[in-house]
Amino acid sequence: MSGPVAPPRRNVLRGIVLCAIGRREGLEWFGDTRHAFISSLLPLLLFPLLRAVLLPPGQSEVPRGTLLLATITVVLASAVLSHLMATWFRREPLWLRYATAVNWTTWVLQLAVLLAIVATAGLASAGLPPTVALIACFAAVGLYGLWLQWFLARHGLRLGPGRALLVVLAVNAGAAALVAVPEVALREAMLLNGPAPVPASGPFKT
């Protein structure tokens, strides 16, 4: 009599690589538990926090607190919105593995951005106008990112092509709105109220 069958081992790195090249069996290498999801989510939250703490002042045009809040908002909003879409399409039992895969494959896009920077420099040194090279490389990264999200929704949630595209559009639009709307509202309020008065200084201040 044979013993109990051991559960399959999870290999996140292998899953990332397979999904990055469009192999749907890569999804099987991610866990489908809450622990697996939280483990995939924590690096996405801790990395921007460390970057905000360690980044020297004045190294970014965007305030560190604003950048940190925007990044965390996008990460959490994407998870919430994708869960809503999975529930709407009656794919909630598949969501944990899908969301875990989405979180881990986000690092592929980070690598793609670095490669785009290198490619931009290479194309510019080869004679292509720097602006054209920059737009071309980052447009390619953007298209690849959208395709990867669609691929994960298509096979992770087992949706048709159209529904998978709807998930991608809804998640990205919703996350972008949550970041952009408060920023626009704050700027409008500052314009309406005008700049803050500068207090007078020196012995003749009133």
- Along the 206 residues of the chain, how does pLDDT read in single tens digits? 444 443 455 689 999 999 999 999 999 999 999 999 999 999 998 887 877 677 666 555 556 667 778 888 889 999 999 999 999 999 999 999 999 999 999 999 999 999 999 999 998 898 889 899 899 999 999 999 999 999 999 999 999 999 999 999 999 999 888 877 656 555 655 556 655 454 555 454 44
Residue 84 lies in a domain: yes
Q: What is the pLDDT of residue 49?
A: 80
Q: What is the pLDDT of residue 179?
A: 78
Residue 6 lies in a domain: no
Neighbours of 167 (CB within 10 A): 27
Q: What is the pLDDT of residue 1?
A: 43
User: Contact, 123 vs 31, CB < 8 A?
Assistant: no
Residue 45 lies in a domain: yes
Residue 7 lies in a domain: no
Residue 118 lies in a domain: yes
| Number of domains within the chain | 1
Residue 64 lies in a domain: yes
Residue 202 lies in a domain: no
Measure the CA–CA gap between 156 and 28, rounded to whole angstroms. Answer: 9
Q: What is the pLDDT of residue 182?
A: 58
| Sequence-distant (≥ 6) Cβ neighbours of residue 49 within 8 angstroms | 68
Domain assignment of residue 57, given as a range:
12-190
Q: What is the pTM (predicted TM-score) of this model?
A: 0.80
Q: What is the pLDDT of residue 128?
A: 86
C-alpha distances out from residue 126 to 129, 130, 136, Å = 9, 10, 14
Q: What is the pLDDT of residue 81?
A: 95
Measure the CA–CA gap between 97 and 169, rounded to whole angstroms. Answer: 20
Q: Which two tokens stand for residue 12?
A: 């996140």
How far is Cα of residue 175 from the mean position of the Cα atoms in its chain? 10
| Sequence-distant (≥ 6) Cβ neighbours of residue 177 within 8 angstroms | none
- Pick from 148, 161, 166, 48: which is nearest to 106 by CA? 148
Collapsed DSSP state (helix, strand, coil) of residue 55? coil
Pseudo-torsion of CA 160, 169, 49, 120, nearest 10°? 100
Tokens 């397979």, residue located: 18
Residue 1 lies in a domain: no
